């Protein structure tokens, strides 16, 4: 199966991250396969800020939940191969919901950090192409908050 290429909505590929002055990872593609035995395999391709690419891979069951988890786990593996920050990403959950006349995939990630601390990050993505595509990008939306340091806390 061919890679599904990501664009920026204008029909052209998104510019490299350094052109935008960002340290974030860029989603560059998803290869997703379903097999006759009821399993699936996802490969997620990300671009690092230095324009090198990494690929994460995962296998799972081809049920709706399995497809979401498989794509999310492949995206997590690609992220972990891409970053130098300490911390381990763990998929807390992934779910497709229908809201506001569209389907949205939500992922929850737990990040283990030094000293045993854990933080939770949430990412979302509207399903435009497929559930698996949305799950892979939702993970990236969550992890880019961690990687880019764009987290906000509020004291109550």
pTM of the model: 0.77
Judge whether residue 97 has pLDDT over 80.
yes
H-helix or E-strand spanning residue 129:
none
- What are the tens digits of pLDDT across the range 52-86? 899 999 999 999 899 999 999 999 999 888 876 65
More confident call, 8 vs 114: 114
The CATH number of the domain covering residues in 4-147: 3.30.160.270
Q: Where are the domains of the chain?
A: 4-147
User: Structure tokens of 17?
Assistant: 């991250």
């Amino acid at each position: 199966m061919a890679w599904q290429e990501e664009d920026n909505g204008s029909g052209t590929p998104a510019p490299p991250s350094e052109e935008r002055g960002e340290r974030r990872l860029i989603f560059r593609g998803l290869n997703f396969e379903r097999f006759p035995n009821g399993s699936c395999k996802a490969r997620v391709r990300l671009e690092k800020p230095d324009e090198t690419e990494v690929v994460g891979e995962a296998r799972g069951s081809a049920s709706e939940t399995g497809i979401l988890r498989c794509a999310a786990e492949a995206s997590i593996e690609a992220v972990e191969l891409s970053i130098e920050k300490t911390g381990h990403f763990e998929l807390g959950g992934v779910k497709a919901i229908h809201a506001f006349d569209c389907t949205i995939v939500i992922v929850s990630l737990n990040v283990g950090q030094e000293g045993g601390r854990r933080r939770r990050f949430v990412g979302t993505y509207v399903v435009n192409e497929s559930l698996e595509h949305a799950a892979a990008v939702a993970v990236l939306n969550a992890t880019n908050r961690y990687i880019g340091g764009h987290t906000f806390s509020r004291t109550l």
